[in-house]
Structure 1
Amino acid sequence: MLTPLFELEVEVAAPQSAGKADTGERRCVPITGGRVKGRLNGRVLSGGADWQVLRPDGMADLDARYMLALDDGTQVEVWSRGLRIGPAEVMARLARGETVDPSAYYMRTAMRFETGAPDLQWLVHTLCIGIGERRPDKVLLKVYGVD
């Protein structure tokens, strides 16, 4: 069962490409800010990144690490590993920076969190699933705890 926890709005800069390799194009997408709302409230700190491989089959392997600063001053590390895949024409539209209805592609991520805050150890001990949507300058994630 999945329990809704919070929503993330992760602002991103333009992707930086290391070029195409046999396994696909390697990119780094800088994380520049954002917000978290729900059971956690605060902001996404700049300085994180999503390290991606755009595979020849059209799938994007996603590996993001960044920090949250909650309203009470607590900081939380986020590690999000997932994938994005859809029809070739949809993936091409996303690559051009167009807004695409999220029902036209599949974007899911397994999420883990780390913090020393005693009252957030429930989050440290919970595997979460993010259901994502890629916008031109941000990623939206609805985060659910796996019971």
Structure 2
Amino acid sequence: MTSNADYPPPAPIELEWAFSVRIDFTERIQFKTPAGKRSYVPAAGGEIWGPRLQGRVVAGSGADYAGVYGLDAHYMLEASDGSPIYVHNSGYLYALDGSPTATDQPGWGGDKEFYFRITPRFDAPVGPHDWLTRTIILGTGQRHANPDHTVFTYYAVK
């Protein structure tokens, strides 16, 4: 039998900021389901900046789908060299003050603080951006109400 004394403590995981994405929205569609509210928020465009990726969000290419079970979002990005990149964000979004879920808030932005964490998956063509398809990436999000947009910040696990 092996004891914990036989193993050194694990090395801490380090994160490195890779890039951020601002996704702009112009409409929010909400409806009630048996489990709670569901929101569909189509992407109207946006930009990408950071040390490892720059470019834009392709308008009309996807949306946020937020509900009581979390966030599920799909978008197409375009790198500054024209490469298409698909991103699927999956994660959690809820108010830190214990108030109703984000999708129950009219406009769900303003001064309210949210726990907003995502685990994205990317598809990129072979070339300068295929590192996205073989890197563990974690992300955070910040909602902003006026103008309506979300900023996702992505970190590569080192």
Bin of the TM-score, shorter chain as denominator length: 0.7 to 0.9
Q: Compared with structure 1, are the counterparts of its residues 92 and 26 closer, same or farther at alpha carbon in structure 2 (3 Å cutoff)?
A: closer
Q: State the 1:32 CA deviation.
A: 0.7
- Normalized per residue, which structure has more strand? 1
Q: Show structure 2 runs of 5+ residues with no match.
A: 1-13
**Match 1:99 to one of 106, 110, 114:** 110
* Aligned positions of 1:58-137 closer than 5 A: 61-86=70-95, 87=97, 88=99, 91=102, 95-100=106-111, 104-136=113-145, 137=148
Q: State the 1:91 CA deviation.
A: 4.4
Partner of 1:24: 36
**Match 1:9 to one of 14, 22, 25:** 22
What are the superposed Cα offsets for residues 55-108 of structure 1, whole Å, 9 maximum, x if unpaired? 2xxxx611110011111111100110111112217948953354226xx32111
Aligned partner letter, 1:108 = R
**Match 1:50 to one of 47, 56, 64:** 64
RMSD of aligned alpha carbons: 2.1
The question of whether the paired residues in 2 share the 8 Å contact of 1:64 and 1:81 is answered with yes
Provide the C-alpha distance between the structure 2 equivalents of 1:29 and 1:92, rounded to a whole number of angstroms.
11
Q: Compared with structure 1, are the counterparts of its residues 106 and 69 closer, same or farther at alpha carbon in structure 2 (3 Å cutoff)?
A: same
Provide the C-alpha distance between the structure 1 equivalents of 2:103 and 2:66, rounded to a whole number of angstroms.
16
Partner of 2:47: 35
What TM-score, normalized to structure 2?
0.79
Provide the C-alpha distance between the structure 1 equivalents of 2:121 and 2:87, rounded to a whole number of angstroms.
6
Q: Compared with structure 1, are the counterparts of its residues 108 and 11 closer, same or farther at alpha carbon in structure 2 (3 Å cutoff)?
A: same
Provide the C-alpha distance between the structure 2 equivalents of 1:67 and 1:74, rounded to a whole number of angstroms.
10
Query: Which protein is bigger by CA-based radius of gyration?
Result: 2
User: Aligned residues, how many?
Assistant: 139
Provide the C-alpha distance between the structure 2 equivalents of 1:44 and 1:92, rounded to a whole number of angstroms.
23
Q: State the 1:145 CA deviation.
A: 1.1
Identity %: 30
Q: Secondary structure of 1:78's partner? A: strand
Q: Secondary structure of 2:135's partner? A: coil
Q: Compared with structure 1, are the counterparts of its residues 42 and 92 closer, same or farther at alpha carbon in structure 2 (3 Å cutoff)?
A: closer
Provide the C-alpha distance between the structure 2 equivalents of 1:30 and 1:5, rounded to a whole number of angstroms.
24
